[in-house]
C-alpha cells in the first residue's frame, strides 16, 4: 500500500461523497419540487373553493336583492307602467345601492322587458334561469359575465321577473387572486365573453385547474393558474440552500476524509518506508534473515521485493565468502583462520558448563613423501579421506579443523583425560587403516598430541601450544599418541631455544669442550682425552650434551656441532703438541655424521690445516649409530681409517651389533658402555659381561676401554680382566683444557713416583655446571696404591 493507494482512495472518497451528497440533494430537490407543485395544485383548488364561496355569498345577496325588489310596489308599478323613465327611477333607486348591478325585468319566456344596463345589453334570456335561484347563475351582459338571480314579481298578475346581475369582473377575480395568488380566468359557454386576472386574458398554461360550473342552458368555465415560476420560487431558494448545504457537506466530508485517508495513507506509506529503512539497517549490521513484507504491487512493494532479493543475494554471497573464509576448500573442515575464534567459543562454553575439553593435534608422518612420491592428487585425496574419517568420529559440537598442510585439530567437549587418551588412540588407529586411492593402498603413520582444558591450560592459545608440545614429544619419541605432561612445555621451549640458538652459540663462544682423560692400565699413562662438548647458554644456563645432541641429530643440525667440535679439538691437540703434551683426542661423532661421505674429506683438511698427525685423532661412534646404516657407516669409517684416524666403538654392549658386522668394521678400539662399569660391585653380575667383552675385543685385535670407572673395585676387576684402558670419575672428570693441562703436568711430575688421591681430589671441582659432574668417591688408599704402584 502506498501513494497509489492514497490517490485511488482519495478519488474514490470524492466520488462517493459527491455521488451520495449529490443524489441526496437531487432527491431532496426533486421531492421538494413535487411537494411545491402539489402545494400549487392545492392552492389552485383552494382558489376555486374561495371563488365558489364568494359566488355563493354573492348568489344569496343577489337573491335577497331580487326578492326585495320584487316586493317593492314601486318597482312593480314602475314595471307595470312600462315607462322607462319610471322604471329607470325605481331601478336607479335600488341600483344606487348596488353600484355595478344591473336590474332586469324579464317576461316569463325570458324576453327582457327592461334593464338598467347599457343599451342593448340583453334581449332574450334562457327562461330556465328564472327558476334556478339556489345556484349561482351566470349570463353574459355586454362585455362581461354576470352573476344573476331572479325573483318573480308577486304583485304583478302577468308573471314577470325581476333579476339582479353583478359582473364577475376583474375586481372580483382580483380579490381571489390577491388572497390566493392564483390567476383566474372565466368564460361562459356559448359566449365569447371572458374575464381574466391576466392581461390579454390568456392564462399561463403550465399549472392549471379548470372547473366547469354547469347551469341551465350553459356552463361557466373557471380556469385557475399559478405560474410554475412562482410556484417554484420558494422551492428554488430551498433547492439552492440545499445544494449549498450539500456542497458544504461534500467539501467537509472530502476534507476530513482526505485528512483521515492521508493519515492512513501516510501511515501506509511511512510504515513501509520505515520497514525498508529498518531492513537496510539490519543488512548493514549483517542480519539477513528477515525479509521486508510490503503487500501490493506499487512502488514500495516492488522496492521491498527487490530489497529482499538483494538481501538474499547478499546473504548467499556472504555465506559463500564466509564459507570460503572459514572452511578449508580441500577438506571442508574449519580452516586455520577462524580456528582461534571457534576454539575460544568452545572453551567458553566448556568453562560455563564447568566441564573439561581435550585438544588433539594430529600430524601425518612424512606426508611430504606421499605428495612427493605419489603426486599431489593422491596427497589431496588422502587428506580428504583423513578429514572424512575424523569427521565421522567426532560430534557436531566438536571443533574439527585443518590447521596445517597435514595437521588437524580436534577439540572435544566434555572429555576427561583418560577417555581422551583412548579416543586419540582410537583416532590414530582409524587413520592408520589403509586408505584406498586410485587402486593404491596408502598406509599412514600419525602422531597425536593432546592437552586438556583447563587442567593443562585455561587459555585457547596455551591449550594449542601444549597439544603441539605433546605432538612434538610424540614425534620425537615415535609414539602414536602423547598426552601432555606438565613440564613438557618447558622442555619443548628449551628444545626450540636450543635448536634456534646453535649458530649463535658457535659464533658467541657459548660452546666449549671438556676433556676427560683415559688411562692405560698397565703404564698408568694418559695418552688420550675424550672431548665432551658443553653449552653455556646465556638464558638457559649450562646445557648438558645429552639434551642437545639428540635434538640436533633429529633436526639434522649435528654436523654443524661435529664440525665445531672437530675443529676445536684438533686445534687443541695442535696447541698441546706445541706445548709438548703427548695427547690424542677422541671426538664423538653421531649417526648422521656417519652418513656424510664428505666427513673424512673435511677431517683430512682440518688435520692438514692444523698440522696434526691423524694418529692423534680418535673418532668415537656408537654401536647404534653404526647400526642405522652399517654399509654406509662402514664406508665412511674406512675412509677415516685410510687417513690414519683411529676408530673407537662407543657404548659397546648396548646395541645389537652382530659379530660378523663388527668384524667387517675398521675399528681400533672398543669402549665398554659405562652402564656395565659404573655400578660394578662384588655382588653384581656385570663382571661376566665385561670379561667376555674384553676377551671379544682382544680376539678381534682391538684395544678394550672401560668407561664410567668410578671405584677401585671396578679398577681392580677390569685390571684382572686385562682391560687395556679406563676412563671415569675415579681418574678424572671431564676437565677444561686449562684444568687438564694442570692435571696432566702434575701427573707427569709424579708419574715416576706416585699418584696419590690428594692429586685426584684436587681435580674434583669442574665449573660451572648446572648439572655438576658427580663427585668421584674417595677411595684414597686403593687408588693411590693403583696409580702409585
Ligand atoms: P659418552 O660418549 O659415553 O661420554 C661419556 C659420558 O660419560 C660423558 O658424559 C661423561 O661426563 C660421562 N662420564 C665419564 N666418566 C664417568 C663416570 O665415572 N661416571 C659417570 N656416571 N659418568 C661418567 P657427557 O659429557 O654428559 O656426555 C654424554 C654423552 O654426550 C656422551 O656420551 C656422548 O655420547 C655425547 N657427547 C658428548 N660430547 C659430544 C660431542 O662433542 N659430540 C657428540 N656427537 N656427542 C657428544
Ligand atoms: Ca664417547
Ligand atoms: Ca660412551
Please tell me the distance from the alpha carbon of residue 13 to that of residue 258, in angstroms, as a whole number: 8
Beta strands in 538-635 (DSSP E): 541-543, 584-588, 617-622
Burial pattern 605-627, b for ≥16 Cβ within 10 A else e, equals: ebbeebebebebbbbbbbbebbe
Half-sphere exposure of 444 (CA within 13 A, CB side): 30
In ligand 1, which atom is closest to the CA atom of 776? Answer: 18
Whether residue 230 is preceded by a cis peptide bond, meaning omega within 30 degrees of 0, is no
pLDDT of residue 768: 37
Helix (H) or strand (E) holding 215: strand 208-215
In this structure, the residue with its CA closest to atom 33 of ligand 1 is: 588
Other beta carbons within 10 angstroms of residue 568's beta carbon come to: 19
Q: Is 678 in the pocket of ligand 1 (CB under 6 A)?
A: yes
Q: Is 711 in the pocket of ligand 1 (CB under 6 A)?
A: no
In this structure, the residue with its CA closest to atom 3 of ligand 1 is: 651
Q: Is 550 in the pocket of ligand 1 (CB under 6 A)?
A: no
Q: Are 730 and 711 in contact (CB under 8 A)?
A: yes
* Ligand having the closest approach to the CA of 773: 1
Q: Are 569 and 584 in contact (CB under 8 A)?
A: no
Helix (H) or strand (E) holding 95: helix 84-97
Total count of residues recorded for the chain: 789
pLDDT of residue 248: 87
- Residue 361: exposure state from Cβ atoms within 10 A (0-12, 13-18, ≥19): buried
Q: Are 673 and 651 in contact (CB under 8 A)?
A: yes
Pocket test for ligand 1, best of 498, 530, 707 (most atoms within 8 A of CB): 707
309 three-class SS? helix
Strands 440-442 and 446-453: unpaired
Other beta carbons within 10 angstroms of residue 726's beta carbon come to: 24
Q: Is 621 in the pocket of ligand 1 (CB under 6 A)?
A: no
> What separation in Å is there between the alpha carbon of 331 and the centre of ligand 2?
49
Please tell me the distance from the alpha carbon of residue 486 to that of residue 492, in angstroms, as a whole number: 11
167 three-class SS? strand
Whether residue 722 is preceded by a cis peptide bond, meaning omega within 30 degrees of 0, is no
What single DSSP character describes residue 542?
E
pLDDT of residue 288: 79
Q: Which residues line ion ligand 3, judged by CB < 5 Å?
A: 650-651
Helix (H) or strand (E) holding 435: strand 435-437
Strands 725-727 and 511-520: antiparallel
Q: Are 195 and 144 in contact (CB under 8 A)?
A: yes
Backbone φ, ψ for residue 783 (5° rounding): -65, -45
- Residue 276: exposure state from Cβ atoms within 10 A (0-12, 13-18, ≥19): middle
In this structure, the residue with its CA closest to atom 2 of ligand 1 is: 588
Q: Which residues contact 531 (CB under 8 A, 6 or more apart)?
A: 513, 514, 515, 565, 568, 569, 572, 585, 586, 587, 588
Q: Is 729 in the pocket of ligand 1 (CB under 6 A)?
A: yes
Burial pattern 173-208, b for ≥16 Cβ within 10 A else e, equals: beebbeebebbbbbbbeeeebbbbbeeeeebeeebb
Other beta carbons within 10 angstroms of residue 101's beta carbon come to: 24
Closest residue by Cα to residue 652 from 606, 679, 689: 689
Please tell me the distance from the alpha carbon of residue 501 to that of residue 507, in angstroms, as a whole number: 10
Written as nine digits, the cell of 585 is: 683426542
Please tell me the distance from the alpha carbon of residue 658 to that of residue 660, in angstroms, as a whole number: 5
Q: Are 706 and 726 in contact (CB under 8 A)?
A: yes
In ligand 1, which atom is closest to the CA atom of 553? Answer: 44
Q: Is 533 in the pocket of ligand 1 (CB under 6 A)?
A: yes
Residues forming a β-bridge with 621: 649
Nearest-10 Cα torsion for 130, 136, 141, 143: -170
Other beta carbons within 10 angstroms of residue 97's beta carbon come to: 9
Q: Are 448 and 440 in contact (CB under 8 A)?
A: no
Please tell me the distance from the alpha carbon of residue 437 to that of residue 377, in angstroms, as a whole number: 9
Q: Is 708 in the pocket of ligand 1 (CB under 6 A)?
A: yes
Q: DSSP secondary structure string, 361-416? A: EEEETTHHHHHHHH-HHHHHHHHHHHHHHHHHTS-TTSEEEEEETTEEEEEEES--
Q: Are 150 and 105 in contact (CB under 8 A)?
A: no
> What separation in Å is there between the alpha carbon of 734 and the centre of ligand 1?
9
Could you state, in chain order, the average pLDDT of each consecutive group of 10 residues for the chain (789 residues)?
Answer: 68 83 83 80 85 84 83 74 70 63 82 77 78 78 83 72 84 84 82 76 71 79 79 76 84 83 74 82 81 80 83 80 80 89 94 96 93 90 96 93 94 94 96 92 95 95 93 92 89 86 95 96 92 94 91 91 97 96 96 91 96 97 90 94 96 83 92 91 79 94 96 92 95 95 87 48 40 48 49
Please tell me the distance from the alpha carbon of residue 382 to that of residue 482, in angstroms, as a whole number: 23
Q: How far is C-alpha 432 from the chain's CA centre?
A: 41
171 three-class SS? helix
Helix (H) or strand (E) holding 146: strand 144-152
Strands 541-543 and 526-537: antiparallel
Helix (H) or strand (E) holding 161: strand 160-167
Q: Are 687 and 717 in contact (CB under 8 A)?
A: yes
> What separation in Å is there between the alpha carbon of 686 and the centre of ligand 2?
20
Please tell me the distance from the alpha carbon of residue 370 to that of residue 393, in angstroms, as a whole number: 24
Amino acid at each position: 500500500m502506498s501513494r497509489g493507494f492514497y490517490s485511488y482512495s482519495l478519488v474514490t472518497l470524492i466520488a462517493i461523497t459527491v455521488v451520495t451528497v449529490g443524489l441526496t440533494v437531487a432527491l431532496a430537490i426533486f421531492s421538494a419540487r413535487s411537494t411545491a407543485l402539489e402545494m400549487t395544485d392545492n392552492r389552485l383548488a383552494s382558489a376555486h373553493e374561495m371563488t365558489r364561496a364568494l359566488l355563493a355569498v354573492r348568489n344569496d345577496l343577489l337573491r335577497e336583492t331580487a326578492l326585495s325588489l320584487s316586493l317593492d310596489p314601486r318597482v312593480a308599478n314602475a314595471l307595470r307602467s312600462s315607462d322607462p323613465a319610471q322604471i329607470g327611477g325605481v331601478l336607479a333607486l335600488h341600483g344606487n345601492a348596488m353600484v355595478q348591478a344591473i336590474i332586469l325585468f324579464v317576461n316569463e319566456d325570458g324576453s327582457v322587458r327592461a334593464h338598467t344596463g347599457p343599451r342593448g345589453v340583453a334581449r332574450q334570456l334562457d327562461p330556465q334561469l328564472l327558476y334556478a335561484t339556489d345556484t349561482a347563475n351566470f349570463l353574459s351582459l355586454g362585455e362581461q359575465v354576470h352573476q344573476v338571480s331572479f325573483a318573480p314579481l308577486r304583485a304583478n298578475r302577468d308573471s314577470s321577473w325581476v333579476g339582479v346581475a353583478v359582473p364577475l369582473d376583474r375586481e372580483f377575480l382580483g380579490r381571489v387572486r390577491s388572497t390566493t395568488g392564483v390567476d383566474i380566468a372565466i368564460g361562459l359557454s356559448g359566449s365569447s365573453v371572458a374575464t381574466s386576472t391576466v392581461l390579454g386574458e390568456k392564462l399561463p398554461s403550465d399549472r392549471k385547474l379548470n372547473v366547469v360550473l354547469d347551469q341551465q342552458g350553459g356552463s361557466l368555465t373557471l380556469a385557475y393558474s399559478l405560474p410554475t415560476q412562482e410556484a417554484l420560487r420558494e422551492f428554488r431558494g430551498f433547492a439552492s440552500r440545499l445544494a449549498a448545504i450539500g456542497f458544504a457537506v461534500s467539501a467537509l466530508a472530502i476534507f476530513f476524509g482526505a485528512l483521515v485517508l492521508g493519515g492512513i495513507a501516510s501511515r501506509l506509506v511511512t510504515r513501509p518506508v520505515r520497514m525498508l529503512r529498518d531492513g537496510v539497517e539490519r543488512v548493514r549490521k549483517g542480519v539477513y534473515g528477515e525479509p521486508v513484507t510490503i503487500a501490493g504491487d506499487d512502488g514500495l512493494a516492488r522496492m521491498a521485493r527487490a530489497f529482499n532479493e538483494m538481501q538474499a543475494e547478499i546473504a548467499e554471497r556472504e555465506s559463500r565468502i564466509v564459507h570460503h573464509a572459514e572452511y578449508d576448500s580441500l577438506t571442508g573442515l574449519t580452516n586455520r583462520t577462524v580456528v582461534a575464534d571457534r576454539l575460544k567459543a568452545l572453551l567458553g562454553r566448556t568453562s560455563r558448563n564447568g566441564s573439561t575439553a581435550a585438544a588433539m593435534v594430529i600430524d601425518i608422518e612424512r606426508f611430504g613423501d606421499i605428495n612427493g612420491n605419489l603426486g599431489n592428487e593422491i596427497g589431496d585425496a588422502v587428506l580428504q579421506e583423513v578429514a572424512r574419517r575424523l569427521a565421522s568420529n567426532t560430534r557436531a559440537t566438536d571443533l574439527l579443523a585443518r590447521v596445517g598442510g597435514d595437521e588437524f585439530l580436534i577439540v572435544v567437549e566434555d572429555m576427561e583425560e583418560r577417555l581422551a587418551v583412548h579416543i586419540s588412540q582410537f583416532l590414530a588407529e582409524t587413520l592408520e587403516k589403509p586408505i584406498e586411492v586410485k587402486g593404491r593402498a596408502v598406509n599412514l603413520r600419525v602422531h597425536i598430541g593432546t592437552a586438556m582444558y583447563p587442567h593443562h591450560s585455561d587459555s585457547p592459545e596455551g591449550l594449542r601450544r601444549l597439544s603441539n608440545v605433546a605432538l612434538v614429544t610424540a614425534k620425537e619419541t615415535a609414539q602414536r599418541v602423547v598426552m601432555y605432561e606438565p613440564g613438557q612445555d618447558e622442555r619443548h621451549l628449551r628444545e626450540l631455544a636450543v635448536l634456534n640458538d646453535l649458530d649463535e652459540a658457535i659464533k658467541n663462544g657459548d660452546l666449549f669442550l671438556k676433556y676427560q682423560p683415559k688411562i692405560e692400565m698397565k703404564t698408568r699413562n694418559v695418552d688420550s682425552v675424550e672431548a665432551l662438548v658443553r653449552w653455556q647458554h646465556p638464558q638457559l644456563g649450562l646445557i648438558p650434551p645429552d639434551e642437545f645432541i639428540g635434538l640436533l641429530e633429529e633436526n639434522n643440525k649435528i654436523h654443524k656441532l661435529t664440525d665445531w667440535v672437530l675443529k676445536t679439538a684438533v686445534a687443541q691437540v695442535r696447541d698441546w703438541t706445541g706445548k709438548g703434551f703427548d695427547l690424542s683426542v677422541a671426538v664423538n661423532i653421531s649417526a648422521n655424521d656417519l652418513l656424510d661421505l664428505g666427513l673424512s674429506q673435511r677431517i683430512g683438511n682440518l688435520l692438514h690445516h692444523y698440522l696434526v698427525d691423524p694418529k692423534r685423532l680418535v673418532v668415537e661412534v656408537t654401536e647404534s649409530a653404526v647400526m642405522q646404516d652399517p654399509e654406509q657407516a662402514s664406508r665412511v669409517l674406512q675412509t677415516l681409517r685410510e687417513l690414519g684416524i683411529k676408530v673407537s666403538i662407543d657404548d659397546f654392549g648396548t646395541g645389537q651389533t652382530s659379530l660378523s658386522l663388527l668384524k667387517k668394521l675398521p675399528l681400533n678400539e672398543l669402549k665398554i658402555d659405562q652402564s656395565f662399569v659404573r655400578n660394578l660391585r662384588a655382588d653384581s653380575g656385570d663382571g661376566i659381561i665385561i670379561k667376555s667383552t674384553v676377551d671379544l675385543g682382544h680376539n678381534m685385535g682391538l684395544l678394550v676401554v672401560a668407561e664410567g670407572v668410578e671405584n677401585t673395585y671396578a679398577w681392580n676387576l677390569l685390571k684382572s680382566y686385562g682391560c687395556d684402558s679406563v676412563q671415569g670419575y675415579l681418574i678424572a672428570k671431564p676437565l677444561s683444557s686449562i684444568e687438564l693441562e694442570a692435571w696432566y703436568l702434575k701427573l707427569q711430575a709424579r708419574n715416576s713416583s706416585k699418584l696419590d688421591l690428594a692429586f685426584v681430589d684436587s681435580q674434583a671441582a669442574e665449573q660451572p655446571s648446572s648439572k655438576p659432574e658427580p663427585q668421584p668417591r674417595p677411595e684414597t688408599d686403593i687408588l693411590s696404591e693403583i696409580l702409585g704402584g
